[in-house]
Amino acid sequence: MLLTCYSLSQIDHFGFLQDGTFKQRYLVADNHWQQPNGPILFYTGNEGDITWFCNNTGFMWEVAEQLGAMLVFAEHRYYGESLPFGQDSYSDVKHLNYLTSEQALADFAVLIQNIKTIVPGAQNSPVIAIGGSYGGMLSAWFRMKYPNIVGNGCEVALAASAPIWQFPDMVPCGDFYKIVTQDFAKSGKNCDANIRRSWKAINNVSSSGSGLQWLSEEFSLCTPLKNKNDAVSFKSWLQETWVNLAMVDYPYEANFLQPLPRWPIQVVCKYLGFDSTVSDEQLLHGVAQAAKVYYNYTGNAPCLNTSQTATSSLGALGWFFQACTEMVMPMCTDGVQDMFEPEEWSFQAFSDECNSFLGVRPRADWAGTVYGGKKIGSHSNIIFSNGGLDPWSAGGVTSNISQSLVSIMIPDGAHHLDLRYSNKLDPPSVRAARALELKYFQKWIRQAQKSTGTGFTMSKDRKNSIK
């Protein structure tokens, strides 16, 4: 049974002027928990509603029995129901001031402390932090900043598809879009070339009023394009569509960001196989069909809404604020090694955009300073898993740093495929990844328990002898 619970946490852990608390939501399932001292699998929630992450992290449910583990899914402050100032949380920069990763990590530590205090038998339970994407970054950082041996932090972390190095001066800014492009290149003949060609075709067609109208109809847009600016936004929306497809290029039918067929990029590319003699209109007709694979696989969408590209369970505004403060992630395109219009990365332009929309300016170096950048070799017990199809692997840890900072690559995997429920269509690489992750959990938990002398053991013999 999955229980919904709430825990009190300080609104500001790092200052004492704002002394208020807020209710943090978390979900708990203890049906497989081996009491006392069985481990806690702790999902470090990211930028969205925790129930959605809970539903999309089947891996935790599947390993709970093998580990005798309690499951906890912690919602990240400012998302879902965990709003420090209720409906005012997003009202201005003053209220948004406590939306940072450091505050979120402190919430997790306080929550674990509370759980260990109120749940009999949990006091000596080792904690395995698990997360995907930004949640995976939080898992890794939680282990780095709160690395207890059975305290209120965690003993082990699984950081799935966590781009902890997608920050200034850590990885080339173009790698992300290169991987997107490669996914399309290998999913159908001419597929990437036709997307690369499509931007100019859109420019050509959208230069006239009738062209804009044609485009709007062709793409079944809810709000027709009216002018040049609309066409620019339209291209950004399309670009984000291809990125999202690369993230969710799963080997089976799934509904993560949108309901989609198996290997959706292959389906998309069926509409983009033209040779170079194709006309702009023919090409864009294909692009429209391709976009509808993403936005209307169910056939139920009356029109396409260019203001949204993914599930509303993700908190787009909150993430925009985080990107505009700590989470500065440089991206760039050159149109040669990738299939997009060339665009350089400009910190200044990004900072100005943040300032004009939100009234804050990002700090380019802070994430690197506070989380150690690429010099993280002193840490331990973190698994970094990455999918070869996932553009976010560009900023991930894709080779071993030490014996206890390990990388697991899943060549056929998109964005944290390993965290999803297992499926009969799973490629062997993700099955192997999950098995290895479980092995590391068991090994590192055993080490932690050995050093503290707490008596939980995961072997069946012990389990039987208890009864």
What does the alpha-carbon distance between residue 176 and residue 167 come to, in Å, rounded to a whole number? 12
Catalytic residue among 107, 183, 249, 390: 390
Alpha-carbon span 76 to 455, nearest angstrom: 32
Is residue 375 close enough to count as binding a copy of itself by CB under 8 A? yes
> Least separation, in Å, of the C-beta of 443 and a copy of itself?
15
Q: Of 369 and 465, which has the nearer Cβ to a copy of itself?
A: 369
Site for a copy of itself (CB under 8 A): which residue of 2, 13, 203, 423?
13
The DSSP symbol for 33 reads: -
Contact stretch for a copy of itself (CB under 8 A) within 47-55, 73-81, 161-169, 368-376:
368-376
Q: Which of 218, 220, 223, 234 is nearest to 302 (CA)?
A: 220
The site string for a copy of itself over 185-224 (x = CB under 8 A, - otherwise) reads ----------------------------------------
Separation of alpha carbons 188 and 22, rounded Å: 50
In angstroms, the CA 231 to CA 104 distance is: 38
Query: Cα(57)–Cα(43) distance, rounded to whole angstroms?
Result: 9
What are the beta bridge partners of residue 402?
405
- Pick the closest to residue 291 from 240, 257, 363 (CA basis): 240
The secondary structure of 216-279 as a DSSP string is: HHHTTBSS---SHHHHHHHHHHHHHHHHHHHHT--SS-EESSSEE-SSHHHHHHTT----TT--
455 counts as binding a copy of itself under rule CB under 8 A: no
Break the chain down into helix, strand, coil percent, rounded to 5: 40, 15, 45
Read out DSSP for 84-111?
A: TTGGGTTSSHHHHTT-SHHHHHHHHHHH
CB of 93 to a copy of itself, least distance (A): 6
**Residue 423 φ then ψ, to 5°:** -145, 150
Q: Is 33 in the site for a copy of itself (CB under 8 A)?
A: no
Q: How many residues make contact with a copy of itself (CB under 8 A)?
A: 50
**CB closer to a copy of itself, 98 vs 319:** 98
- Residue from 61, 320, 345, 366 binding a copy of itself (CB under 8 A): 366
Is residue 14 involved in binding a copy of itself (CB under 8 A)?
yes
Least separation in angstroms between CB 381 and a copy of itself: 8
97 is a contact residue toward a copy of itself (CB under 8 A): yes
Q: Which of 7, 89, 101, 133 is catalytic?
A: 133
The total number of residues written for the chain in this structure = 467
381 is a site residue for a copy of itself (CB under 8 A): yes
Q: What angle do CA 348, 354, 359 make, to 5 degrees?
A: 120
Q: Which is nearer to a copy of itself, 51 or 113 (CB)?
A: 113
Chain centroid to Cα 284, Å, comes to 30
Stretch that binds a copy of itself, among 45-53, 67-75, 100-108, 225-233 (CB under 8 A): 100-108
With CB under 8 A as the contact rule, the residue among 1, 19, 299, 300 that binds a copy of itself is: 19
CB of 100 to a copy of itself, least distance (A): 6
Catalytic residue flag (residue 393) = no
Indicate whether 467 belongs to the interface with a copy of itself (CB under 8 A): no
User: In DSSP terms, which residues pair with 9 in a beta bridge?
Assistant: 22
Q: Which residue of 2, 149, 436, 438 would you call a contact of a copy of itself, by CB under 8 A?
A: 149
Distances (CA, A) of 236 to 16, 239, 243, 341, 391: 42, 5, 11, 10, 17
**Is residue 44 within 8 Å of residue 71, measured between CB atoms?**
no
Placement of tokens 């965990």 in the chain = 82
Cβ count within 10 A of residue 378: 10
Which of 58, 121, 147, 259 is close enough to bind a copy of itself by CB under 8 A? 147
**Cβ closest to a copy of itself, residue 110 vs residue 195:** 110
Per-residue binding string, a copy of itself, 307-336, x by CB under 8 A, is ------------------x-----------
Active-site residue, 415 included: yes
With CB under 8 A as the contact rule, the residue among 110, 129, 160, 201 that binds a copy of itself is 110
Applying CB under 8 A, which part among 159-167, 214-222, 224-232, 357-365 lies near a copy of itself?
357-365
Q: Does 82 bind a copy of itself (CB under 8 A)?
A: no
Among 24, 56, 103, 258, the residue binding a copy of itself under the rule CB under 8 A is 103
Residues annotated as catalytic (active site), given as ranges: 133, 390, 415
Q: Which residues bind a copy of itself (CB under 8 A)?
A: 10, 12-17, 19, 93-94, 97-98, 100, 102-103, 106, 109-110, 113, 145-153, 155, 325, 360-361, 363, 365-366, 368-370, 372-381, 451-452
